[in-house]
Amino acid sequence: MPIHPTAIINPQTRLGEQVSIGPYVIIGADVVLEDEVSVGAHCVIEGPTRIGRGTRLFPFVSVGQDPQDLKYAGERTELIIGERNVIREFATLHRGTDAGGGVTRIGNDNLLMAQCHVAHDCIVGNHIVMANGASLAGHVEVQDHATLGAYVGVHQFCRVGAYAFIGAYSVVVKDALPYARSVGNHARCYGPNSIGLRRAGFPDADLRAIEQAFRLLLNSKLNTSQAVAAITEKLGDHPRIRRLLDFIASSQRGVIK
């Protein structure tokens, strides 16, 4: 188990098999590194934090620090990072708060590029790409297979739907629709994320249904409630469209259109 002699590791740290820890790493109490985790030089990991199997932290990553929330009063909260994530240089991921359930959670197989930030109480799904400098404020949910471009900022309590694409430098202040391409400050929706959906292997029938739903939602003279009713009538039995409709129905902040 290669652990550099300059690394400072709290005795309470639990290390799995084949863990690699680089020079000048600092690991605090209540940290669990599962099998095959790799921690690059100068990383700082505070607990309670669990990092899943095969996850790689590149140099100068800081994870598990106290949340940047003025209401935080030192209560025990945690950060849970899943398996096979790649977390690049200078990224920061913070623990949760009591008000948000006490946990910040990262799923599996995500790529968080350099200087990304995931704030307290965020829920990040699986197979997500956050490009350089993308930032999530507190209590944000990012669903599976979403892509956030460079320096995207997502406002607290917003959601980013599954397979959504958010263009670089966009500011997201409402919920970003699943399957959609949203760009701008403030972000607007420009229809389906067609290239991303094709790359993800969506069959032509699904793509046609999604395109039809977005035509009703964005390009008709219907308001959102009327568009949802029309989509439900025409396409409501389709499972992909049902997910879109459920996302809209459950929105607390409104959706990007």
Q: Is 184 left (phi over 0), alpha (psi -120 to 50) or beta?
A: left
Task: Give the active site residue among 138, 153, 161, 196.
Answer: 138
Is residue 138 part of the annotated active site? The answer reads yes
Q: In the structure encoding, which two tokens stand for residue 133, read together?
A: 């400098």
Give the Cβ contact number of residue 131 at 10 Å. Answer: 19
Is residue 82 part of the annotated active site? The answer reads no
Task: Give the active site residue among 94, 120, 139, 145.
Answer: 120
How far apart CA 182 and CA 188 sit, in angstroms, is 5
Task: Give the active site residue among 121, 149, 153, 196.
Answer: 121
How far apart CA 34 and CA 231 sit, in angstroms, is 45
Sign of CA dihedral 195, 197, 201, 202: negative
Is residue 125 part of the annotated active site? The answer reads no
Report cis status (omega within 30 of 0) of the bond before 186. Answer: yes
Give catalytic residue positions.
120-121, 138
